[in-house]
Amino acid sequence: MKDETKLVVAGRDPESNYGIVNVPVYHASTVLFDSLSDLQNRFKDRNDGKQAVTYGRVGTPTSWSLENAVAELEGGYRSQIFPSGLAACAHAMQAFLKAGDHLLMTDSVYGPSRTYCETVLKRFGVEVTYYNPLIGAGISELIRPNTRIVFVESPGSQTFEIQDIPAIADKTHKAGAIVMMDNTWASPLFYKPFEHGVDVSIQAGTKYIVGHSDVMMGLVTATKEAWPTLQAGANLSGQTAGPDDVYLAQRGLRTLSVRLKQHMENGIKVAEWLKGREEVHSVLHPALSDHPGHDLWKRDFLGASGLFSMRLNKLPKEALAAFLDDLKLFGMGYSWGGYESLILYADPSHSRTATNWDNTNPLIRLHIGLEDTGDLIEDLSEGFDRLRAKL
């Protein structure tokens, strides 16, 4: 089946639910067993890796519906739900790491993931080295005997570097380590991580899967070989998500294709318009032909999301504030992936350690929503008028 069909049918089982189209929301903690034999058989099934109802935290038909659908879309073996994207990132790493291990982390990683590495992992004796996201096969020079994970995020948060993941995966696997990827930007629709050598794929379902800016959700999908370690780590740390949130994520997943294609179309239109503005130094969008990673994007990705950045020409703070503060359609806020457009100032120079980032040309991250692009462009154009008035 094509992905558009999988989005509609994957994880659903009307025959087991009285013909109901959507899997019901099971509010469950305690589960009752018919007999000692029933109890023992269900736990045996669970220990064998099957989806057996034993306790609410461990899984119900509600959570399995979403997990099974995401795993099928990404091309992995199984998926695990987490209560937020950061929880998914943190506990995926934690499941595979122990004191004395070494983690190679892309220097362009999502900020909270970096903070987790700098605080929690270091406190528990895990050494973290940040590497240039454009290193490709050169990653082999940084891999040590105790390197357990090479973490990739493509494109990179805020700065949108495209990584050569197949080259990184080849060197990583030869050294006996695993590749872990944050695949939130492209979603399972526009990037198939397991076809490119990834072992564990992470998504902030909060973004495009939920799609409506109202639910926190994380998902991690693994290969069959990596799955037991991931699931054991998640269960032993008590990771779960509320059934109502899971249901909303399921509902959002069904329309992911139509939404994401529109985000892509709108995003490219706005990005192309921004390229022609005299106030703009450069536009960082992988789908644009002049993006440094465009060839890798064309080779490995099936599409683009609505998230990208631009760099403005050097300007005073007052002019930047005049541009941002009175936009009508672009909200100033964190997160992205919902139906609405967002804009945010960022300064990566404060965190980069393996790569230099000069923020002389201020970085602005945009998420292009589902509004009419003419209206969005008019809003930005009026913002540029306010900006020039302060120069």
Give the C-alpha separation, 344 to 19, whole Å: 45
154 φ/ψ angles, rounded to the nearest 5 degrees: -135, 120
Separation in Å, CA 193 to CA 57, 131, 144, 188: 28, 20, 24, 8
Give the C-alpha separation, 378 to 270, whole Å: 10
* The pair of three-digit structure tokens given for residue 389, joined into one six-digit string: 């008035």
Separation in Å, CA 357 to CA 132, 163, 351: 12, 17, 9
Separation in Å, CA 122 to CA 91, 101, 119: 15, 10, 6
Q: What is the DSSP string of 193-249?
A: GGGGT-SEEEEETTTTTT-SS----EEEEE-TTTHHHHHHHHHHTT----HHHHHHH
Q: Which residues are catalytic?
A: 57, 110, 182, 207
Separation in Å, CA 121 to CA 125, 142, 202, 339: 6, 19, 18, 35
3-state secondary structure of 127: strand
Give the C-alpha separation, 62 to 66, whole Å: 7
3-state secondary structure of 165: helix
Separation in Å, CA 2 to CA 197, 349, 350, 356: 21, 42, 43, 42
**221 alpha-carbon distance from chain centroid:** 12
Q: Residue 140's closest CA among 162, 105, 167, 166?
A: 167
Give the C-alpha separation, 48 to 71, whole Å: 18
Give the pairing of strands 178-182 and 200-204: parallel
Give the C-alpha separation, 217 to 210, whole Å: 8
